[in-house]
Amino acid sequence: MEDHPRIRFNRLLEKTESLGLTGSDLESLPSLKRLKVNYDSDRSLLIYVSFFIIKTVIFATIIFGFVWTFNWPILNEEIASKLLSIQGVSSKYFEREECVVHMPHDLQNIFRPPVSCEFCQNVTHIPRVTGITQEDFEKKYAYSGHPVVIADATKQWTAMGVYNFKFFKDIHENVSGSGTNVKGTDCQFFPYKTNFKALADVFKMTIDMAYMRDGSKPWYIGWKNCDFTIGSILRRHYSRPYFLPVLAESSKTDWIFMGSPGYGANLHIDNVGNPSWQAQITGHKRWILEPPPECYYTCTSHMEVVVQPGEIMVLDANMWYHQTLIEGDEIAIAIGSEYD
């Protein structure tokens, strides 16, 4: 630590002060002049490169806007097809895509409009309830933004004894046209911190790899099921949660999250439009909730709960920033959906 540049510089500075040298004396030193020339040169180069990049981006944006607006000299369909192909979307799914370029999540957070903090006022913890009626759930939790864990919501389900990595691997490998290789709006895939590029890569793992018996790395992924056949197979083993309001419609889309202990999703906020429920089929998942920044001084800044197998977490993920972490020693599998 004695040779640290900052310490050595402070020693030199103390020595110059003890010798009575002034700032003007130091500026006249040849070595300091050389340092100043090098600094100014590097700074000028950085400014030049920055301006060049900015001008290039502006020029490219203008050209692209002209081509897209007038649909000339290249057709918009050709541009869209090329961009989607680069993103790995199969040509047969082009017509289903709503957007050619999706806004990154970080930018979505930056431009997210502020919300009223009423939804999180006086919410100090995440309760765990059983036997709640549809009326009470609707009154207290369904649309209030208050998170809750329903502890007895999956008692009649067979999913707990059926869903495992091999089950999902088998149905995705055996169901023809399941879209497992597709990346796109209809089959959203979240690799999180893994190196998986698509859902098909996940199910290329052997059972030993998935359970890390061979020393493989931990992993955690999520995806939106887009295949009706697979959806019907999944629904053989679970039913509409009993507590949902009578008039509420649950989405026909299944969201599945799966991964090994020690991994999970980073802190983020969703943009799915409706509240959602997520059933923990196997494993234990810790949920960490935080209000949006504009509510930090109004609401409890941090809440946690560990959801056990057989329990359902109900959350408006469009309001709460949330993070998850798989705990314990087994693969965690969760399935859920939105409701209106």
Residue extents of the structural domains in the chain:
5-70, 117-338
Gap between the Cα atoms of 202 and 208, Å rounded:
13
Q: What is the C-alpha to C-alpha distance for residues 188 and 317, in angstroms, rounded to an integer?
A: 17
Q: How far apart are CA 86 and CA 91, in angstroms?
A: 11
Domain 117-338 carries which CATH code?
2.60.120.650
Radius of gyration of the chain (CA): 27
The SS3 call for residue 92 is helix
Query: Coil, strand, or helix at residue 189?
Result: strand
Per-position pLDDT tens, the chain of length 340: 556 777 787 788 788 788 887 777 777 777 766 766 666 677 788 888 898 999 999 998 898 888 878 888 888 888 878 877 776 666 665 666 667 666 666 666 677 788 899 999 999 999 999 999 999 999 999 999 999 999 999 999 999 999 999 999 999 998 855 445 444 444 789 999 899 988 999 999 999 999 999 888 999 999 999 888 999 999 999 999 999 999 998 888 899 999 999 999 999 999 888 999 999 999 999 999 999 999 999 999 999 999 999 999 999 999 999 999 999 999 999 999 999 9
